[in-house]
């Protein structure tokens, strides 16, 4: 399918006038959205395998389903795939790396010994492409994580190993932020928890607190590094008790002045993080979002333009949190083309932000202040049928990326010319 550029512009001019009648400036909306970076997650490109080249199976309650051909098997291939994905996404965005994506030239480097040198090629690539980097310790898929416990492990030596890994990860992240000129968000997530009902929940949480305090003793320039901690309700193998729960990490982040990560797939299926954002932002300067899509017990489906994604973006925009919230994606699907998954999820996040910026917010807010809830509801509903699609196509065209499903043709071509040759 090919879109005529003249028709895209003509449709946009009509839509621009319709939005103007509601007091919405489409040009300003596009300008603001263009300044919001989304951090793409590297692990969608290779099913969370990483490049340690060990025999350890994926652990920590994580599971990736599907075997779509052509996945990246080394860092060069992954960077090649990322370049293709970024070329189909409007705006300038970031990359979120896990520690297991290091490059060691075939040498065995355990995780407590990683250094910025092992990520130098990632840093060089990011600088060449003007891409900001974010980072994560990898506290899973390792022999010392097989018990299901890491930073809260009762064995002091195991616990110390993971403390050292997280300290090393912060050093890597700080160097990434320094060299790219953009603060690197280093986010700590651990799988620690009990499959069945524990007798003692307190002691493991005490140990986790002590471990985190040890990790954060070394100070880094906040212009280079921002520390974040991520909670979870439950995971496979930790159904009865997760040590790093929502309440635990929210309290820790507030008391230690760290970022708190709200992951859209880490709560009960009836919970939504859009309703939590304004609450936690009352007590934190900044937060991290991991935008995902939970389906039953799986937390990480490709992001679609559903009600919750739209609500997340609306909460960010309506509350003027754009400069205080870091948006990252977190999903992995090996049943479909992995590059397409990146493109679909990221474009949907940007679409949601654009939709939020195209709302007649001032009119709706004034109606609410006046107690005119009838007008508020009417405006909410009428805004849903305003011609957002015409603005989105024009936004893509302005950013020199394919409109609508045109991007899929490019993915198919890349699949034929590159992915199919990987065997």
Parse the chain into domains and list their residue ranges. Answer: 1-24+359-423, 37-357
pLDDT on residue 244: 96
Told to judge if 298 belongs to the known catalytic residues of this protein, a careful annotator would answer: yes
pLDDT score at 391:
98
Contact present, 175 and 126 (Cβ < 8 Å): no
330 in active site? yes
* The pLDDT of residue 239: 86
Instruction: Please confirm, yes or no, whether 232 is among the known catalytic residues.
Output: yes
Which residues, given as ranges, of the chain have pLDDT below 70? 1-2, 55, 58-59
Residue carrying structure tokens 């994606």:
329
Residue of 149, 89, 100 lying closest to 395 (CA atoms): 89
Catalytic residue of the set 71, 290, 326, 357: 290
Q: Are 247 and 276 in contact (CB under 8 A)?
A: no
Residue in the block written with tokens 């974010």? 134
Residue among 9, 271, 298, 404 flagged as catalytic: 298
Q: Is 224 a catalytic residue?
A: no
Q: What is the pLDDT of residue 194?
A: 95
263 belongs to the catalytic site: yes
Choosing from 52, 227, 330, 415, which is the catalytic residue? 330
Active site residue 230: yes
Q: What is the pLDDT of residue 207?
A: 98
Q: Is 285 a catalytic residue?
A: no
What letter would DSSP give residue 303? P
pLDDT confidence of residue 64: 72
pLDDT score recorded for residue 236: 84
- The answer to whether the beta carbons of residues 327 and 289 sit under 8 Å apart is yes
Q: From the candidates 43, 122, 125, 189, which is the catalytic residue? A: 189
Say which CATH topology domain 37-357 has: TIM Barrel (3.20.20)
The whole-number pLDDT of residue 2 equals: 64
């Amino acid at each position: 399918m090919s879109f005529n550029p003249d028709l895209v512009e003509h449709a946009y001019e009509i839509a621009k006038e319709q939005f103007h009648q509601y007091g919405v400036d489409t040009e300003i909306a596009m300008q603001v959205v263009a300044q919001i970076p989304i951090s793409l997650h590297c692990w969608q490109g290779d099913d969370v395998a990483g490049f340690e080249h060990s025999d350890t199976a994926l652990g920590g309650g994580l599971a990736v389903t599907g075997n779509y051909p052509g996945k990246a098997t080394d860092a060069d291939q992954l960077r090649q795939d990322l370049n293709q994905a970024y070329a189909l996404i409007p705006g300038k965005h970031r990359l979120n790396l896990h520690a297991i994506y290091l490059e060691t030239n075939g040498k065995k480097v355990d995780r407590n010994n990683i250094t910025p040198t092992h990520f130098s090629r990632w840093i060089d690539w990011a600088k060449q492409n003007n891409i900001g980097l974010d980072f994560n310790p990898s506290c899973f898929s390792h022999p010392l994580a097989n018990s299901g416990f890491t930073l809260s492990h009762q064995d002091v030596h195991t616990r110390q190993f993971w403390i050292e890994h997280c300290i090393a990860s912060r050093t890597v992240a700080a160097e990434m932020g320094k060299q790219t000129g953009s603060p690197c968000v280093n986010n700590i997530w651990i799988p620690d928890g009990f499959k069945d009902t524990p007798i003692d929940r307190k002691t493991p949480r005490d140990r986790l607190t002590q471990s985190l305090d040890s990790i954060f003793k070394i100070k880094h320039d906040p212009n280079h590094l921002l520390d974040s901690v991520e909670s979870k309700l439950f995971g496979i193998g930790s159904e009865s008790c997760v040590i790093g729960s929502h309440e635990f990490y929210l309290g820790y982040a507030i008391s230690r002045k760290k970022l708190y990560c709200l992951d859209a797939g880490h709560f009960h299926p009836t919970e939504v993080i859009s309703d939590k954002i304004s609450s936690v932002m009352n007590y934190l300067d900044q937060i991290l979002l991991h935008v995902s899509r939970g389906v039953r017990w799986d937390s990480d489906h490709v992001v679609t333009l559903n009600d919750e994604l739209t609500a997340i973006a609306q909460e960010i925009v309506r509350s003027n949190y754009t400069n205080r919230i870091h948006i990252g994606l977190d999903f992995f699907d090996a049943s479909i083309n992995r590059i397409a998954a990146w493109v679909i999820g990221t474009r949907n996040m940007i679409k949601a932000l654009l939709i939020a910026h195209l709302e007649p917010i001032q009119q709706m807010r004034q109606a609410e202040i006046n107690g005119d809830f009838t007008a508020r509801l009417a405006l909410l509903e009428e805004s849903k049928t305003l011609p957002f699609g015409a603005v989105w196509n024009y936004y893509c065209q302005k950013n020199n990326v394919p409109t609508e499903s045109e991007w899929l043709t490019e993915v198919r071509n890349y699949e034929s010319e590159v992915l199919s040759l990987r065997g």
